[in-house]
Amino acid sequence: MNWYERAIEAGIRDRVRLLRDNGFNTECSCEHDIYIQFQLQLPDDVEQLDLLLFDSGERNYVIEAMLTRDQGHLRKTATVYFPDTRGMYAPLNQRTAALESYLGRAGQEATP
């Protein structure tokens, strides 16, 4: 058994492998909430990720980039969220709920 099978939940494993195999340093992921968080290295990482996901067949996702400072240290991360089977994005926190509202998806099922 490889480390992917031991450490990464089955429902998100292929997407994590896709990102890691293409140079994205993933930090955490969740099958239940359907997201992957990774480190941003280059200014165009978000665009590269968008093209990678789209070219691999993904059609619905949200990429959230974040810059934070902790005791003076800059941390650049991003998270990609995938919709559940109803087309809804997991409301992990108020920021995500606000994003769903902005996208017009709060409390609604998406049209396939």
pLDDT per residue over 62-111, tens digit each?
A: 998 888 888 898 888 888 999 888 888 776 555 555 556 656 655 555 44
- How many whole angstroms from its chain centre is CA 16? 9
Domain boundaries, the chain: 3-102
Distances (CA, A) of 47 to 58, 63, 86: 14, 10, 26
pLDDT of residue 104: 62
pLDDT in tens, 24-60: 999 999 998 899 999 888 778 899 999 999 999 999 9
Integer Cα distance of 112 and 9 in angstroms: 26
Query: Which residue pairs from 64-70 have beta carbons closer than 8 angstroms and sit at least 24 positions apart in sequence?
Result: 64/95, 64/96, 64/99, 65/40
Q: Using an 8 Å Cβ cutoff, are 34 and 82 in contact? A: yes
Q: Is the pTM of this model over 0.85?
A: no
